Structures are given as structure tokens and as C-alpha cells.
Amino acid sequence: MSTLSNKRIIVGITGGIAAYKSAEIVRRLQDRGSKVQVVMTPSAEEFIRPLTLQALSGYPVHADLLDPEAEAGMGHIELARWADLLLIAPATADFIASMVHGRGNSLLSAIYLATSGMVAVAPAMNQGMWSHPATSDNMQTLRQRQVMIFGPDNGIQACGDIGEGRMQQPDVIAEQVANCFETGQLSGKKVVITAGPTREAIDPVRYISNHSSGKMGYAMATAAIEAGAQVTIISGPVALAAPDRCTVIRVISAAEMHSSAMAACADADIFIAAAAVADYRPASVAEQKIKKHTDSIELKLEKTPDIVSTVANNVKDIFVVGFAAETQDIETYARDKLQRKKLNAIIANDVSRIDVGFNSDNNEAWWITSNTSQVFSKRSKTQLARDIIDILSKQIDS
């Protein structure tokens, strides 16, 4: 059974009799490891109570587009950014039509218009409504917009008719959601990713480090695994669970990360240097804890090994992606690093902002090559990682 470990999914419920199945969909998605929030249209509340879904999901159920508390923080925009996937189940004929025409007259439709993640619908309607040319045209439009369609099934309907239009069963929908994250774009490729900070010892109890949480590197590893790659993650000290189906090498210092990266990259196709490696380390490490005898001490620092540059300049036939964590002139500094270190591409982000970057669940980044530059607006790190893997796979294939 495919997992949905740490995936963030919004289940949108519209007003159809199949809404009673939505509670089971929430449970099946959670069983696979995902975090689920529920958004309901006003008509959906006539079929199933929000309290039931709140108890199952563990989150408040969202329903009101003009909720003063939510809208103070642009609630529908934040929900759209939160989600890796928006699943609308059931999706009625009326709501599907509103999606096609871009109406934002409900919270759910506004989230659909604002989302940067994947979108899927599980249609549920009378067989006559499903077979109508208007519905057929609407479904074709959604497919052209890369909206995934789950079902519908054929069988006896609530009205007594027999035909196509029933919403698929919850376990089938959960399996299709899991399959959405298996892209195969890097099938057969070996990918090495560094993640997290390094720690450079001053004495047995103190060290130099930084604020990196490792979340971006681990999200990149997960996205690469989803794309079918064989992934090795070389991780500094982080408080994150390792992704499934990858090799994890745990290190502390820049020197250890350098040694591990060179060994792992010897037969790799792609190297993504997402770790925040300390640029300098103490030239000597005290054997015993330094006591507080004076008002000040001096530390002599020396450069740590440049991991991404070493790989780029010494390993043949490998596509190297660097990261540039900057606080000003983001693209300028990133492009300089790209050229100076002879990288194939670089991902740059602004770590001076508290809403993205270090320790945040969100990020905003530039993808830069020698002749291109693309900006990814603020979104979850899991979605950003998926977007980067997508553009990376196309770059390799071109």
C-alpha cells in the first residue's frame, strides 16, 4: 500500500448525497500518514455535520469565505498554500461547473483558484447529469488544466437509476491520491542530497552552527523518491524523521559531510546540495571545556571544505544543484555562486524573512541556470520541492 507520509491534503466536500463517504475518505488518508483539513460548501453541511469531520481530522472544519478571523490572515490563501493536494470529494456537477468558469463565490472554490498544489475531483451525480454534454465538456476542460479525475463508478444510485456517476469508494480514492505523488520523472536515477546544518566543534560541549532545520533538504529527498529516484540523503543534525525508501547517512561536521558526499556521488546522476554547511570552523578544537576565566576569548577560524564545488569540479557526468541562502541581492549573489562554482543550477532563497526559509514550513525560491531564471512564489516546502524536481527532470531530459 502506497503511503502518504506527512502529505497535507485538503478534502473539499460539496453538497451531494455521497458526502457521507467523505468522513471515511478522511480516515483512509490519515491511515496512510497524511494530515487532512476539511473545507465544506454550505450545501454540504446539509448532508454531513462539520463536527463529525472535525473530530476525525483533528482540525477545525472550514466553511465560511467571509470568516472575519480567518480572513484577517487571508485564510483561503493560507489554506491553499498549506495543501500538497486539494481533493474535492464529492464533486457535484454544479461545483465542477464553477471550477471551469473560475467562480470564487465559496471558500472551497476560492481555495481551488488560489492553490499551487495538485487538484483532484471525485465526481458524484445522477447518471443523466454525468452523461450530459455540458458535464462532458466541463470534465474535458478540467483534464486540460491538469485536474485529476477519480471515477466515477457505475452502479445503483441514490435516486434508483443505474449508470455511471457514483462516487468511488473511499479506499480506492485514497489509493489514487497516493498514486498522485508517484511521478516516475527520475526513474532509474541516483540522487544524492545533503540536508540540515553542520556543527563545527569549539570544545567538547560547544560548536558553531546555524538555524537550518533540514526541512527543505528532506522535502527534496521525498520529492525525488516520489519521482522514482534512488535517493541517498546525507544529513546533518536535525529533528526530522527520515523519508521512507532512502539511504540516510548521518554526519555532524562539514568535513564528514564532504567525505560522505564524495563517496556517495561517485556513481550518482544528480547532486542537490541543500545543506547549510558552516563556511568556517575553529582552526583547533580544545580538548577540554573552555572555562569562563576571562571577559573575552579569540577563535581562529579556517574555511571548511566546499562540498558542492568539489563535486561539481571533480565528479564526471553529474548534474549539480546548489543552494544559495541569502539576505540581500538574492539573484545576483546566487548567479555569481552558480558561475564561480560551475554548477548546473542553483536554488536561491531569502533567509532574512521569518515567513519562509530557516525553520519555516514554507519557502519562496528562485531556480537559476546559466540562461534561465524562474521564481517559485511562497508555498509549502513539500510543494516547492516537487516543483523543483519537476523542472530538474525536464532540464536533464532536454
Catalytic site positions = 159
The rounded Cα 321 to chain-centroid distance in angstroms is: 18
Grid cell listed for 345 = 543550477
Asked if residues 116 and 80 have their Cβ atoms less than 8 Å apart, the reply is yes
The rounded Cα 302 to chain-centroid distance in angstroms is: 36
Q: What is the torsion angle, in degrees rounded to the nearest 10, for the CA atoms of residue 371, residue 375, residue 381 and residue 387?
A: -60
Q: Exposed, middle or buried, 183 (CB in 10 Å: 0-12/13-18/19+)?
A: middle
| HSE-up of residue 135 (Cα within 13 Å, Cβ side) | 19
CA pair distance 232, 181, nearest whole angstrom: 19
CA pair distance 348, 331, nearest whole angstrom: 7
CA pair distance 133, 139, nearest whole angstrom: 10
Q: How many Cβ atoms are within 10 Å of 240's Cβ, its own excluded? A: 16
Q: Which residues pair with 323 in a beta bridge?
A: 347
DSSP letter assigned to residue 265: G
CA pair distance 314, 312, nearest whole angstrom: 6
